[in-house]
Amino acid sequence: MEKLRIMSVFGTRPEAIKMAPLVRELARRPDLESLCCVTAQHRQMLDSVLEVFALKPDMDLDIMTPSQTLSTITTKCLTGMDGAIDALRPDMILVHGDTSTTFAGALSAFYHRVPVGHVEAGLRTYDKYSPYPEEMNRKLVTAIADLFFCPTENNRRNLAREGVAEGVFVTGNTVIDALKTTVTENYHFTTDVLNRLPYDSKKILLVTCHRRENYGAPMENIMSALADIARSREDAELVYPVHLSPAVQACAQKHLAGIPNVHLTAPLAADEMHNLMARCYLVLTDSGGLQEEAPALGKPVLVLRRETERPEAVEAGTVKLAGVDRERIVSMATELLSDSAAYAAMAHAANPYGDGLACRRIADAILWHFGRGPKPEDFRT
Ligand code: UD1
Ligand code: UDP
């Protein structure tokens, strides 16, 4: 029997981190040929992930431009995908999550009548503009996809409410699979400032912020709050690997440059980031991926957003929504820095997002779909 050609499409840092273990798992299956097409919606931040996970794409659309608009990303992806599908002739295309690459990749697959598997399906806020444009991207991909790989039971319920019940699997999130390969004891950082941080004598606060709906006033509030926290807490050191988006870079520099206990760094390689997270005290972030990783490492998270499509760790008590109000962020961070009982109540490991076997379940589900294997059991917490 001929091998089934499964083409994974991704373009940004988080998609790459979450698809890397799956690309490898597919390659291990004798019945499958694992193909990889990157849009390079992110150039440097994608290349860093490809290097960490030793992935060599079969096709690179190289679409990134500085300060790109949503329309340019989508149109360049669509045009590039025509050539990739013609050249690689996939039997199925896998897209991940909710970026512009995800949406354009799925739409292009549909135009070519290639079935689509959606990895990280079923996340919702039910607010069209938050996160923007991700909430709409994932809903549009739901309309196109044939297989749905939900990280959690809650995600599956979201799809069921929308009438999507066929081809739905609860697999866990592949980010936990990735995390299991990157975090090691006695890890030595290549970014030297991270080796010199006072992990034992001070509280390390790990910060990231990049969401488009936070651009403008919300991001100004967030950065002002971070500056307030750093200036008022000599017992804390803030480490902030700044996203390469020019809008984010400008805001971070304006509010945080020159504060002695704030370290603004370039984006970190995924293994560095994961090992730094494993050693930090607290995470402050608007990132989706960090909300999933930190609970697995037992690190409390304050989410710098008004809502989250990841309520599971909030329910488990390790994540709190801090919002985008300056005073509220400062007061919530101060409580966790000052009140050891409040901190202890959040600082316990929780794994609502996976057990490290998501990629295995997804590969099994693909084989089942094509009649080449048994149906996998769902992931349960
Ligand atoms: C994108 C995704 C968002 C995801 C985020 C992860 C969309 C619309 N947004 O947002 O869902 O959470 O990635 O980080 O798909 N840049 C570089 N080099 C890089 C990466 C980015 O210079 O390696 C700069 C470029 O100027 C680029 C800009 O950042 O134009 C913004 O990148 P873009 O992919 O458009 O949006 P993100 O905010 O990164
Ligand atoms: N990450 C990284 N280096 C950094 C910042 C984040 O490797 O400097 C990782 C992080 O651990 C997670 C992913 O990138 O796996 C999250 O990406 P991002 O926050 O850009 O996007 P989101 O998850 O919000 O879509």
Rounded Cα distance, 146 and 21, in Å: 21
Q: Is the CB of 131 under 6 A from ligand 2?
A: no
- In the residue annotation, 255 being an active-site residue is answered as no
The reply to whether 169 falls in a domain is: yes
Exactly one of 24, 212, 279, 328 is catalytic; which is it?
212
Same domain? For 164 and 303 the reply is no
Token reading at 315:
């329910």
Same domain? For 358 and 281 the reply is no
Same domain? For 56 and 204 the reply is no
Using left for φ > 0, alpha for ψ between -120 and 50, and beta otherwise, residue 235 falls in: alpha
Rounded Cα distance, 260 and 243, in Å: 20
Q: What is the reported pLDDT for 349?
A: 86
Same domain? For 16 and 97 the reply is yes
- Work out the angle at residue 366's Cα, subtended by the Cα atoms of residues 56 and 139, and round it to the nearest 5 degrees: 85
The reply to whether 185 falls in a domain is: no
Instruction: Assess whether pLDDT exceeds 90 at residue 1.
Output: no
Q: What is the mean pLDDT of the chain?
A: 97
Q: What is the reported pLDDT for 104?
A: 98
Same domain? For 113 and 148 the reply is yes
pLDDT 10s digits, 4-39: 999 999 999 999 999 999 999 999 999 999 999 999
Distance of alpha carbon 309 from the chain centroid: 12
Token reading at 53:
């996970």
Same domain? For 166 and 53 the reply is yes
Rounded Cα distance, 63 and 86, in Å: 18
Q: Is the CB of 52 under 6 A from ligand 2?
A: no
CB 31 within 8 A of CB 60: no
pLDDT interval class at 244 (50, 70, 90): very high
Please compute the mean of the pLDDT values over residues 232-257 and round it to a whole number: 98
In this structure, what CATH number is given to the domain that contains residue 273? 3.40.50.2000
Q: Which residues contact 214 (CB under 8 A, 6 or more apart)?
A: 222, 286, 304, 305, 324
Residue 165 identity: A
- In the residue annotation, 210 being an active-site residue is answered as yes
Same domain? For 213 and 329 the reply is yes
Q: Is the CB of 48 under 6 A from ligand 1?
A: no
Please compute the mean of the pLDDT values over residues 93-120 and round it to a whole number: 98
Exactly one of 98, 293, 309, 364 is catalytic; which is it?
98
Same domain? For 219 and 337 the reply is yes
Distance of alpha carbon 103 from the chain centroid: 16
Same domain? For 159 and 231 the reply is no
- In the residue annotation, 212 being an active-site residue is answered as yes
Q: How many residues does the chain have?
A: 381
Same domain? For 279 and 307 the reply is yes
Q: Is the CB of 210 under 6 A from ligand 1?
A: yes
Rounded Cα distance, 247 and 229, in Å: 22
Please give the residue range of the domain that contains residue 116.
4-173+354-369
Q: What is the reported pLDDT for 306?
A: 95
Overall pTM surpassing 0.95 (yes/no): yes
What number of H helices and E strands is found in the chain?
Answer: 16, 13
pLDDT 10s digits, 306-317: 999 999 999 999
Same domain? For 206 and 236 the reply is yes
- In the residue annotation, 98 being an active-site residue is answered as yes
The reply to whether 161 falls in a domain is: yes
Instruction: Name the domain count of the chain.
Output: 2
Nearest to 288 by CA among 95, 125, 90: 125
Same domain? For 161 and 228 the reply is no
Exactly one of 134, 271, 292, 293 is catalytic; which is it?
134
Q: Measured on CA atoms in the order 294, 281, 48, 258, is the torsion positive or negative?
A: positive
The reply to whether 266 falls in a domain is: yes
pLDDT 10s digits, 139-155: 999 999 999 999 999 99
Specify burial of residue 27 (Cβ count, 10 A radius: 0-12, 13-18, 19+). middle
